[in-house]
Structure 1
């Protein structure tokens, strides 16, 4: 049992200096090969912990927390009904002490934990949970807040038996329960739900039940939190069952990639997200730590395929590009040992992962044969042509990943060998703005939260992956969501992966999602299955 705190907590500061992907999960803490983080021993009470984020936070609305810079902070402000424990490989209780589903996955009953309060003193009871679920499932029209995409099957919720909430869905959804562990399903006070969109987007207005509480802010500079002395409802498997060990938390905005390792090494910060591979060994050799937080809740890093230009309409062309990627060369050249080469669209540790590595093996000769069969013949300059068009394709991504641009530069070289010209617009945020909705831009480099199945990511007609609904895939997605047993569900998730990656080749997978963090020698922190730091359990070694 840990030592109790004495006196009031000091203020926690979240500094976001300058202007510029969620779920609570188990301890997905994995250290990169550059540094083996030893057992730090007994947690130490008190102290200031400084975390450097990559980009600033401009919209704090809960359902918009699908980006790391938001989820990484809201994870410590908002609790959820359930918690995904990676080590146990299952959901465990959090605000819901118990939960169950009927046989056809259309009704879910949550028993709400006693004694939980929001930071304003109001009760987080069954009625408050019902109001949150209605907002998640139906949106809030008066505030122009859309429904949460993971709650697409939601119909209604009602309080039963005083401390229980029964959720009824419009259709079966085997992934609904898993989505209640997401940061985007974070619980806020009923008073917060009454606010307009602007207010719900402001961290100063959001009232949660988490271990850290808003205190004050300086726009685009810092947000100040204080920790709750009375916090006593962590997830049931969390190592720390009480309030935060830390007295103060500081989160800074550090956009300069080259400065991140030095900031941790010098002690300017205790933890920094977005460490580039070249800096991992440097930091580790100077006594720092490298944490590779695995994104079990997310798809792998991949290039989603768009076929609007017509060049990738033939599945043989897509399959050719899939096997024309030398993933091992990407790891050896661009990545580090903190990264794992993809074996599917799902992370290796995700429930239902099926290893397709053998079928994804680098095979340029097979790629050339497939392109020949599809009618694309090498032109005078080596680039393949068909019907007067060159096989010239474009890839677009955001600049959030420190390795995505050089990875696509290497893919550009590899595809050039089979007669395909790749226009690399990776890490070009200006270009990305239009590319997100343009199905003539052939590749969208991304990773997405996927809680159990792949239907919520790929099925909607307005999805930002393929941008097109596939009737055959949608039938498969519907079957998967309607599965009534774990065995049936996992079998269908496997079929989804084979269809997306191999049969239809609508996603070119690269490496498992991981966020690499650098830390100084005194920092001790674990991460959720969505790669968010768990500040409630973080602490600093003495000395």
Structure 2
């Protein structure tokens, strides 16, 4: 690693921040975060050393648009740069590889000015032509490599190089959220040569060439991936604390699926950082001198149960509203969660632009739940479970195991709903069950959180979305108007209306807590996170070098 002017890099790096989801299970990590109230430590960054990060599961598909899952996004965030990034402090999209960008009034044309001097790790230029090829891949997919278009680029029509360093994008329809989507890890820029590879090539980390601060070195399948710092990296986002190459010399990604071992691994120094700390281990790690870092997912929806109505049991909005106020969220906080978690006030996280606080209307009210269920025709049976037309009100929830608290949370909700005459079958954190449940509209609940870059249309609008699996015409009309908004004021007003419809009026989502990824860190680790909860390894360092 070359010598650097430390004076240019001195900064107090922050630990738990207001960050931005995408998904999910996922993740898209976008922007740098800077919340001065959450510093893990400060001082002059130390050059050199190897930083070891333990992820939850091995990664077998590194293709850019597959980075809607944390284990992928958390690493690709340091391998691939983006045109823009979302700055949490200002709440704005700002430049990264695009030094400037403009949009026409109707939000159907966007022009990006590409900064000079940026290169991919193979030495080729990240210029306007390379950007144009990436945009086509994102918006149109790559048929020869069986790569589908990016869901956040659904409005994309075409792009063209209009000057040496300018690219103009044309959309099929207005999309006020398009610019924000260019900050997502799933919009990471790869070299044109990478885009020519077949599917296997584009999913192999050893073959992906990006322009980020870290470059692939070696891999042991299902064990670890090693990256080295790129010494000539000099194009970090404009508000990044570190404007040069990484302080670290190497980055090692290991896998630690055993949740009970994560706190001990961080405390002992086996790893510098680990994702997925369970609440019971937070105090233990802190008491032992380690760090508990709560990375808030500003880019994501809250953790919620998205409702499917295919089985017919939840067709009536009154039933869905009954379930919404039949959840004692404070009890969730007190018995299942920890101080790292913030109870949901909407489908958007508290720090997300356009968030509207609906918490006053989400208070626990089992008597109201019972009344609504009665009005909907569901009568209590001899076993205490409600019945209607010969069917019991027995409903199922599925989710991934990406959250360490999702299964016990639904165990508590199962008890609460039993009191109002509803039987919940808890399949949360059962990944084998989830595989089929995600595309089965007969499974009433999908426990999830998804990246939502501005509006909620891309998450809930398509008939094939994995949230409701239900195309609601009134909602889709609302989503269309929101995406077509031409002023920020109009856009935020419509985003507020979307939240009220989804959470209260239609009650198609039962919101639980703001998305947060709780990390455990060794006492010597200094690390910040993005608005999508991804670690920013380009600015990370270790006190012991």
- TM superposition score category, shorter chain reference: over 0.9
Tell me which residue corresponds to 1:13.
Answer: none
Q: Secondary structure at the match of 1:358?
A: helix
Aligned residue in 2 for 1:66: 68
Residues 420-431 of structure 1 aligned to structure 2 (within 5 Å): 420-431=422-433
Aligned to 2:527: 525
2:399 is aligned to 397
Aligned partners of 2:32, 2:303: CA distance in 1, in Å? 21
Deviations 1:157-181 (CA, angstroms, capped at 9, x unpaired): 1111211111010000000000000
2:10 is aligned with 1:4 = no
Q: Offset at 1:222?
A: 2.6
Paired position in structure 1 for 2:412? 410
Query: In the alignment, is the contact (CA less than 8 A) between 2:118 and 2:211 conserved in 1?
Result: yes
1:75-86 alignment, distance < 5 Å: 75-86=77-88
CA distance in 2, matches of 1:159, 1:534: 31
Within 1, Cα distance between the matches of 2:36 and 2:409? 22
Match for residue 284 of structure 1?
Answer: 286
The superposition leaves residues 231-282 of structure 1 with CA deviations (integer Å, 9 ceiling, x where unpaired) of: 0000000000000000121111000000000001111111000000010011
Describe the SS at the equivalent of 1:56.
Answer: coil
1:524 CA displacement: 0.4
Distance in 2 separating the partners of 1:239 and 1:226 = 20
1:174 maps to what in 2? Answer: 176
After superposition, residues 469-484 of structure 1 pair within 5 angstroms as 469-484=471-486
Q: Deviations over 1:396-454 (max 9, x none)?
A: 11111100000000000000010101011111111111111111110000000000000
Gaps of 5+ in 2: 7-25
The answer to whether the aligner puts 1:348 opposite 2:354 as a matched pair is no
After superposition, the Cα gap between the structure-2 partners of 1:83 and 1:94, relative to the gap in structure 1 and judged at 3 Å, is same
Contact 1:28 1:528 in 2 (8 A): no
* 2:194 alignment counterpart: 192
Per-residue deviation, 1:542:
3.0
Contact 1:315 1:505 survives alignment (8 Å): yes
Instruction: Indicate if the aligned counterparts of 2:225 and 2:254 stay in contact, CA closer than 8 A.
Output: no
CA shift digits 1:307-332 (9 cap, x unpaired): 11111001100000000000010010
Aligned to 1:41: 43
Determine if contact 1:425/1:431 at 8 Å carries over to the other structure.
yes
Alpha-carbon distance in structure 1 between the residues aligned to 2:5 and 2:256: 32
Where 2:383 maps in the other structure, the secondary structure is: coil
2:30 paired with 1:24: yes
Specify the SS of the correspondent of 1:313.
coil
CA contact (8 A) 1:264 1:271 kept: yes
Counterpart in 1 of 2:441? 439
Distance in 1, Cα, partners of 2:223 & 2:427: 31
- Which residue, out of 36, 51, 54, partners 2:53? 51
| Residue in 2 that maps onto 1:17 | none
SS in 1 for 2:374: helix
Shift of 1:218: 2.4
- Over residues 459-512 of structure 1, what are the superposed CA-to-partner deviations in whole Å (9 max), with x where a residue is unaligned? 011000000100000000000000000000000000000000000000000000
Shift of 1:30: 9.0
Count residues with an aligned counterpart: 524
Instruction: Give yes or no for contact 1:28–1:529 (8 Å, CA) kept in 2.
Output: no
Q: Where has structure 1 moved over 6 Å in runs of 4 or more?
A: 28-31
Which deviations, in whole Å up to 9, do the C-alpha atoms of 1:77-98 show, x marking residues without a partner?
Answer: 0000001110111111100000
Once residues 411 and 354 of structure 2 are traced to their aligned partners in structure 1, the CA distance between those partners, rounded to angstroms, is 32
- Report the counterpart of residue 142 of structure 1 in structure 2: 144
Match of 1:88 in 2: 90
State how far apart, in whole Å, the 2-side matches of 1:275 and 1:524 are: 17
Tell me how far apart the structure 2 counterparts of residues 377 and 163 of structure 1 sit (CA, whole Å). 67
**What is the distance in 2 between the residues matched to 1:474 and 1:238?**
37
Paired with 1:538 and 1:38, the residues of 2 have a C-alpha distance of: 11
Structure 1 residues not aligned, in runs of 5+: 7-20
SS of 2:183's equivalent in the other structure is coil
1:541 aligns with 2:539: no
Partners of 2:488 and 2:221 in 1: CA distance? 47
Displacement of 1:227 after TM fit? 1.0
Give 1:120-269 correspondences, 5 Å limit.
Answer: 120-269=122-271
* Mean CA deviation greater in 38-47 or 256-265: 38-47
Does the residue aligned with 2:512 lie in a helix, a strand or coil?
strand
Q: Distance in 2 between matches of 1:39 and 1:538?
A: 11
**C-alpha distance in structure 2 between counterparts of 1:406 and 1:56, whole Å:** 24
Distance 2:494 2:377 in 1: 34
SS at match of 2:265: helix
Check whether the contact 2:29–2:74 (CA below 8 A) recurs between aligned residues: no
Q: Separation in 1 of the partners of 2:220 and 2:260?
A: 26
In the TM superposition, residue 5 of structure 1 has moved relative to its aligned partner by 7.6
| 1:323 maps onto 2:325 in alignment | yes
1:24 shift after superposition: 1.4
